[in-house]
């Protein structure tokens, strides 16, 4: 393994040994509790010293400039998303290559002249203002859009007129975890928010760590001040619930999804409304794929809004699903007959139908598959569906009959990932976005109005200098510790010899029912081509790759299965000759950062390098900060005795040990480790990485006069950046060059032209 010329001199961080918590009779010290305050001068000093240390290490990584230059060159290619239609207009996102943020364009037809509708790049000098979510009104006259600053989850909703591109005065603040759903009269929309800070409370949105409680659902009338918005739903008895509202497509019903609450008031003007419009309210608790589902007939919208506004009136929502037993996603409706995608008694999902007039009678329309996960269904062409299945971590597309669920056609797509199906129920033409490890991106246009679906390439993304024929992708199934077969994708140069000599990057996630499917990455292609890396993804338990049973097998009391699966994947790559421990790096972000942190604690001998992005590292206190309380559905909570005993066994912060004291081989040390976080990450707040960084540097290095730990333990702490979403192109490139040049140096990988 390549090392730095001299051992690092780590900053000394103050230890406060007086901070000791009692968890159900077990005393747990927390000497770096002070690092939880992002505004404290001492914390800022700690961060500054760590940044200086990391910069000094990165400067010694010889491939840094080559990586930055080559990634930049390959990144500089035009990218497009699938177009979508509203009213008589089409909209799509496009980036010429190195623009910080993608730009939203509008055109009158698919071959009409595109006009810039929203360019986030003009909203900040450094590209750190990004588009979080948006919605176009049904008549295509207005764009409502939510902007995020520095990657924060907090957003501000603005409104723009599409015809003349003028920005309206409407400004909605304290919005987080919200969709935007217009009513069919085009006079306003539903959105979700949290209460504003109390008077006198100073909050730097994005760096604060306060718990997010009391979500609310509101209705906003165009052209009015936010103080007049109408509160449609809140739940003071359940402050951790979240709420989302969706207006149904057919203009009759609106389904309300509950995730958090609303409030306000306004003088209502009489207005014409469409018949049969429903609002669906989705109510969420934690991150499990379960929700309550209420509905409200908003055909007479002024009357309903008056009811919402009146504190004395009973709420107009009807409770269709009033427990957290399963997930229900709206697909389509005809009058009172609704079709939903659900995992009720179907861990791999199915389609069901119910008439609101007979809410206790549900019928299966498309039954659960024995093997494949039904990920999505999109109503198109009147009475058809495009359904997407995940089959061994690869997508399959089918056209089915909406009324009967019967199979009409298979759509021929390559092995890879369908990440967007762009169409509405009235559309005969559907746009499908596809990617894979060796396909930068294809947008297919599928015409369903011709009998047999006509699938053709609408746009294909080309990366100059990338030749897919140089690479090979393989999928293998590897037994974990308990015998469960774990899928692993392996991407490498063609015809490599399996002699254990190759540097290898193994990536994993394994949580929250999220599936990690094939996708194209410029930086990882550069690693494979120019540094000889083998790149791998392990689809470990905890994710959604095989449905809800796969998810549950890697959560709560069974979380250790995730780490066992990942360790088994690493051992497979070594035993088959792809790599060896000193040439193997593991990487993961968020829940995947926790995965990396736990695995280097449990098997420090197995890896040469570790990259942990924005990880959940303090498993005893994560639920106390921002939206952390929602993750207890996957992890549990240390406030409960049984769950504390699960968490303390693997919490990265609480399991840092000197491996040379635990292992017969006294030369064993931790792999070279980089913990990555950002000052505006208000999802997994930076304190997780900062506390683990201080702990590792103390236990492994600073507490000993001459430590065997010579592999560096460093932190890359980004400024004006968040959990990952909305990061401008240059920041993405810079971070990739930093972490991968560090990895290359630590694994002894050399540049290949």
pLDDT score, position 256: 44
- SS3 category, 74: helix
Task: Dihedral sign for Cα 324, 352, 296, 269, please.
Answer: positive
For residue 711, give Cα distances in angstroms to 48, 58, 714, 737: 21, 14, 10, 20
Give CA–CA dist 100/487, Å, rounded: 35
For residue 221, give Cα distances in angstroms to 186, 231, 265, 512, 676: 9, 12, 10, 35, 42
Q: Which fold has domain 177-199+214-325?
A: Methylamine Dehydrogenase; Chain H (2.130.10)
pLDDT score, position 262: 24
The active-site residue, picked from 436, 590, 633, 741, is 590
Tokens of 396: 């399959």
Catalytic residue status for 590: yes
The active-site residue, picked from 681, 682, 718, 734, is 681
pLDDT score, position 250: 67
Task: Evaluate whether 705 touches 18 at the Cβ level (below 8 Å).
Answer: no
pLDDT score, position 203: 64
Catalytic residue status for 645: no
Task: Evaluate whether 279 touches 256 at the Cβ level (below 8 Å).
Answer: yes
Nearest to 368 by CA among 575, 547, 532: 547
For residue 657, give Cα distances in angstroms to 16, 670, 677, 694, 698: 19, 9, 23, 14, 11
The domain spans of the chain are: 23-72+469-747, 80-166, 177-199+214-325
pLDDT score, position 261: 26
Looking at 412-469, which runs of residues are DSSP E strands?
A: 417-422, 429-436, 439-447, 454-460
Cα-Cα-Cα-Cα dihedral of 331, 393, 610, 542, to 10°? 60
Phi, psi (rounded to 5 degrees) for 633: -65, -25
pLDDT score, position 126: 86
pLDDT score, position 263: 26
DSSP 94-124: EE-SS-SS-EEEEESSTTSPPEEEE-GGGG-
User: Cα–Cα–Cα angle for 622, 623, 625, nearest 5°?
Assistant: 75
Report residues of the chain scoring pLDDT below 50: 1, 251-274
Catalytic residue status for 723: yes
- SS3 category, 363: strand
Q: Length of the chain in residues, anyone?
A: 753
Which class in CATH covers the domain with range 23-72+469-747? alpha beta
The active-site residue, picked from 395, 502, 688, 723, is 723
Task: Evaluate whether 399 touches 408 at the Cβ level (below 8 Å).
Answer: yes
Phi, psi (rounded to 5 degrees) for 726: 80, 5
Q: Quick count: other Cβ atoms within 10 Å of Cβ 55? A: 12
């Amino acid at each position: 393994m390549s090392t730095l010329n001299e051992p690092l001199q780590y900053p000394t961080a103050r230890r406060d040994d007086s901070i000791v918590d009692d968890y159900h009779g077990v005393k747990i010290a927390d000497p770096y509790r002070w690092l939880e305050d992002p505004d404290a001068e001492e914390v800022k000093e700690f961060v500054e010293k760590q940044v200086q240390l990391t910069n000094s290490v990165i400067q010694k990584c010889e491939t840094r400039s080559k990586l930055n230059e080559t990634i930049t060159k390959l990144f500089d290619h035009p990218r497009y998303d699938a177009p979508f239609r509203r009213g008589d207009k089409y909209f799509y996102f496009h980036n010429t290559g190195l623009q910080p943020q993608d730009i939203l364009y509008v055109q009158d037809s698919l071959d009409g002249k595109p006009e810039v509708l929203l360019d986030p790049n003009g909203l900040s000098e450094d590209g750190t203002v990004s588009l979080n979510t948006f919605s176009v009104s049904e008549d295509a006259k207005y764009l409502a859009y939510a902007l995020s600053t520095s990657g924060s989850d907090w957003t501000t909703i603005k409104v723009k007129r599409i015809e003349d591109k003028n920005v309206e005065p409407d400004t909605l603040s304290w919005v987080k975890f919200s969709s935007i759903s217009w009513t069919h009269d085009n006079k306003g929309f539903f959105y979700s928010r949290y209460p504003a800070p109390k008077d006198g409370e100073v909050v730097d949105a994005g760096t604060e760590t306060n718990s997010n409680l009391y979500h609310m659902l509101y209705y906003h009338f165009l052209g009015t001040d936010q103080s007049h918005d109408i509160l449609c739903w809140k739940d003071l008895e359940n402050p951790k619930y979240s709420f989302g509202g969706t207006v149904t497509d057919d203009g009759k019903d609106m389904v309300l999804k509950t995730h958090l609450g609303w409030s306000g008031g306004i003088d209502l003007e009489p207005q014409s409304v469409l018949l049969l419009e429903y609002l669906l309210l989705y109510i969420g608790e934690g991150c499990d794929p379960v929700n309550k589902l209420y509905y409200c007939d908003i055909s007479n919208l002024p009357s309903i809004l008056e009811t919402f506004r009146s504190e004395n009136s009973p709420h107009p929502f009807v409770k269709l699903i009033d427990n957290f037993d399963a997930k229900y996603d709206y697909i389509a409706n005809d009058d009172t007959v609704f079709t939903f995608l659900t995992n009720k008694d179907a861990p791999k999902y199915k389609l069901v139908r119910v008439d609101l007039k007979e809410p206790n009678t549900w019928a299966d329309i498309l039954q659960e598959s024995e093997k494949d996960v039904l990920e999505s269904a999109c109503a198109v062409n009147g009475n058809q569906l495009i359904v997407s299945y995940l089959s061994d971590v690869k997508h399959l597309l089918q056209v089915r009959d909406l009324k009967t669920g019967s199979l009409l056609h298979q759509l021929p797509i390559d092995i890879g990932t369908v990440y967007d199906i762009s169409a509405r129920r009235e559309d005969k033409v559907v746009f499908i976005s596809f990617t894979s490890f060796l396909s930068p991106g294809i947008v297919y246009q599928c015409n369903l109005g011709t009998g047999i679906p006509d699938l053709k390439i609408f746009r294909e993304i080309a990366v100059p200098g990338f030749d897919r024929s140089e690479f090979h992708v393989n999928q293998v199934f590897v037994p974990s510790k308990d015998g469960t077969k774990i899928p692993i994708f392996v991407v490498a140069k063609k015809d490599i010899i399996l002699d254990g000599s190759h540097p290898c990057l193994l990536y994993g996630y394994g949580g929250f029912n999220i599936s990690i499917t094939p996708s194209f990455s410029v930086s990882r292609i550069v690693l494979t081509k120019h540094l000889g890396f083998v790149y791998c993804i392990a689809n470990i338990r905890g994710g959604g790759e095989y449905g809800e049973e796969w998810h549950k097998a890697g959560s709560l009391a069974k979380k250790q299965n995730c780490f066992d699966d990942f360790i088994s994947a690493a051992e497979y790559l070594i035993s088959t000759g792809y790599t060896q421990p000193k040439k193997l790096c593991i990487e993961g972000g968020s829940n995947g950062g926790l995965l990396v942190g736990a695995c280097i604690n449990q098997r420090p001998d197995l890896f040469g390098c570790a990259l942990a992005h924005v990880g959940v590292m303090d498993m005893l206190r994560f639920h106390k900060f921002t939206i952390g309380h929602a993750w207890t559905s996957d992890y549990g909570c240390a406030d409960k005795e049984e769950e504390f005993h699960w968490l303390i066994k693997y919490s990265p912060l609480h399991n840092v040990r000197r491996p040379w004291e635990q292992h017969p081989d006294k030369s064993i040390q931790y792999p070279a480790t980089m913990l990555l976080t950002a000052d505006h990450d208000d999802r997994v707040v930076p304190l997780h990485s900062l506390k683990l960084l201080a702990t590792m540097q103390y236990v492994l290095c600073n507490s000993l006069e001459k430590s065997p730990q010579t592999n560096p333990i460093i932190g890359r702490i980004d400024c004006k950046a968040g959990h990952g979403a909305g990061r401008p192109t240059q920041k993405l490139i810079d971070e990739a060059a930093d972490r991968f040049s560090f990895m290359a140096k630590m694994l002894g990988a050399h540049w290949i032209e």
